[in-house]
Each structure stands twice: as C-alpha cells, then as structure tokens.
Amino acid sequence: MTTTRTVTTTAVLDRDAPLPTASWQDWSCLVRLVVSDPDALTPAIAYLEAMMQRVDRAASRFRADSELSWANANPGRPVVVSRTMANLVASALREAARSDGAVDPTVGDDLVRLGYDRDIALVRDSPLPVGSGPEPVARPSWRDVRLDEIACLLTVPAGCTLDLGATAKAQTADWAAADLSDRFRCDVLVEIGGDLAVAGRKDDWQVTVAERVGQAGEQVTLGAGGIATSTTTIRRWRRGDTEISHLIDPATGAPAAGPWRTVTVAAGNATHANTCSTAAVVLGDGAVTWLGIQRVAARLVHQSGEVHAIGGWPC
C-alpha cells in the first residue's frame, strides 16, 4: 500500500507559527506528528511508522498472522507473546479495571457478530440482520484474561475473543510521544485517529477538538498528557434495519446507546483519556458523575448537539 504524507517544515518555532508537521493515513485513520526540531521530523516519521507496524503485527484483530489472532485461536492455552504485546494487554487490562469494566477488551465476538469482522475501511452496510449465537453460560470478561508480564505469557479465556482496539491506538500515541521526545530531545505531539499525546517541555499546544476530522471545532490549550475523543457519529454501518456503532457496551454486547454521541477527555495520558471518553459514552447517564470521580476535564456532546463541559474544560 502506498502511503501519502503531507509534510510541512519551518524553522520558526514561536507560539503562533506552525511547527514541523507530517500527516498521513494508517490504521484507517489520520496520523499526525509534530516536532519542535525540524531536523527530527524525517527520522521521527520513520520511528513512528515502525512502531505502528510493530503494534499492528502484535495486536491487529484483522491479521491472521498477528499475535492477537494466534492467542485468540488458542483459548485456554498460555501463548508466548512479545514484550510489545504483553505491554499492550497489560494496558488494556489496567484500563478495564480503572473503568470498572465499561471498557472491556473481551468484546471481540460482539464486534464480529455486529459485522465489524474486518478493517473498518472494508466494513459495508448489509441487508442481512445482525448475527446471533448461543450465549455462554458464564460470559468471560477482562477479569478472566491471564497475563504473565514477566514471562510474556497470555491466556485468552475460552468463550471470547480479545480485541485491543479500545486502548492500543492511544497507548501507541503515548509510547511514541515519550520515546520521540527522549530520543530527539524536542517537544513532540502524536495523534492517531483522535487519540493525541504530547511530550517535552512545551506547555501550550493548541489543539482543535471536533467530532469529525476537518470540521470546525473548539480550540483548547494542552500543557501535558493527552486528549482523546470517542464518538458514535463515525465508524457506523448497517445490518438489516439496525444502525451500528463500533462502541460496544460490554454489559449488553450491543452498541452503546446512551445520551452522549461524542465525548472528549483531557487526562494525564492519551490512554486514560481514551478510556474515560469511551467509558462515558458507554455509561450514559452515569458518565458525568463517573468522570468527576476520575478528576478529568471533559466535553460531552448530547445526542441533541448540546455541549456540556465539566472538570474545568476547556483545559
């Protein structure tokens, strides 16, 4: 596949001037990389692309040769995985615990049943109804996943399919921003499909928050950490008479259907910001209280379009 990048470089690095930037499409989403050192941009692009390839080989649900697919194909059996995969699973389980299971990596079978059985760019509407199958007597959850982080042994419980889509993208952004800032000794912003992480000394990143790429939005200042947006307005398709979103409520196995269509969260890192934004969509009426407990700044868009800001938003 040919990757087309848009690259802009400038040596002027004051607050109002654009910084060296590259953007391209990967993982069926927009990838954006910004650095404060023009000389770092080209090697930083190569580094980020290599990291994303490594994560894809480890955790893609759509690659038959990925470590995730191998672990899912051997339920109940310990499978040796790479350190990258072990860290990704550990992150997913940690965020599942922090969200009280509202973000659960064991919903892969639900996604397949709803038609999300291939890369989202290939998912198409279908006149066929949503697939169904027998419910297990005791439905596995994230608590049933076994991970030995030291030995890098992963055991996927029988009766479910592991899917790391809720955390892997944001975790990659966090890793890349921190690694690139340390490697090139400069300020870095990495955004992968709405999950955005920053690293370095710069404390006035200007970020535009919108429901869709290219839409007008709200500009906020990010000093550190990350911002993530979860929305039911994109990544949608139809099965029969049912319109489906990729955001799944683990309690029901169905698309989240609460009052919030889009939630954006600023947190200490992109991974937790994404957990909070996704969990808020899933939790629905309980989202505002739960986000308050998490002590994060958030922007919630109601199904009516009304915007609610909490936790000191805009940050």
β-pairing verdict for 188-192 and 195-199: antiparallel
Average pLDDT over residues 162-188: 97
Phi, psi (5° rounding) for residue 293?
-65, -35
152, 165, 155, 166: which is closest to 72 by C-alpha?
155
Q: How far is CA 273 from the centre of its chain?
A: 9
Query: Which residues form the domain of 249?
Result: 203-315
Rg (CA), the chain: 19
Predicted confidence (pLDDT) per residue in 34-51, tens digit:
999 999 999 999 999 999
Let me know: does 121 contact 28? Beta carbons within 8 Å.
yes
Domain presence at residue 232:
yes
Predicted pLDDT of residue 315: 64
pLDDT band at 264 (very low <50, low <70, confident <90, very high): very high
Q: What domain count does the chain have? A: 1
Give yes or no for residue 260 having a pLDDT over 60. yes
3-state secondary structure of 292: helix
d(C-alpha 276, C-alpha 287), whole Å: 9
Is residue 110 a contact partner of residue 136, using CB atoms and an 8 Å limit? Answer: no
Asked whether residue 152 is assigned to any structural domain, the reply reads no
Q: Does residue 290 sit within a domain?
A: yes
pLDDT for position 213: 65
296 inside domain: yes
237 found inside a domain: yes
Residue 106 lies in a domain: no
pLDDT reported for residue 4: 46
Angle at 39 between CA 38 and CA 44, to 5 degrees: 95
Q: Specify whether the CB–CB gap between 277 and 264 falls below 8 A.
A: yes
Q: Average per-residue pLDDT in the chain? A: 88
Give yes or no for residue 248 having a pLDDT over 50: yes
d(CA 277, CA 201): 26
Tokens of 311: 């936790």
- Render pLDDT for 50-70 as a digit per residue (tens, 0 to 9): 999 999 999 999 999 999 999
Residues 180 and 35: their CA atoms lie apart, in Å, by: 9
Dihedral over Cα of 222, 228, 234, 235: its sign: positive
Closest CA to 208 of 192, 225, 196, 224: 196
Task: Quote the pLDDT of residue 9.
Answer: 37
More reliable by pLDDT, 108 or 275: 275
**pLDDT tens digits, 140-171:** 999 999 999 999 999 999 999 999 998 999 99
Token duo for residue 256 = 């989240």
Spatial neighbors of 293 by CB under 8 A, at least 6 apart, are none
Amino acid at 277: S
How sure is the predictor about 1, in pLDDT bands with cuts at 50, 70 and 90? very low
Beta strands 153-155 and 79-80 are antiparallel
Domain membership flag for residue 224: yes
Instruction: List pLDDT tens digits, range 88-141.
Output: 999 999 999 999 999 999 998 888 887 777 777 776 777 776 765 555 456 799
Instruction: Please tell me the predicted confidence (pLDDT) of residue 245.
Output: 72
Tens of pLDDT, residue by residue over 198-238, are: 999 999 999 989 876 666 778 899 999 999 999 888 766 66
Given a cut of 80, whether residue 17 has pLDDT beyond it is: no
CB atoms inside a 10 Å sphere around CB 260: 24
At residue 2, does pLDDT exceed 50?
no
In a domain, 49, yes or no: no
Q: For residue 70, what pLDDT is reported?
A: 97
Output the domain CATH number for residue 235: 3.10.520.10
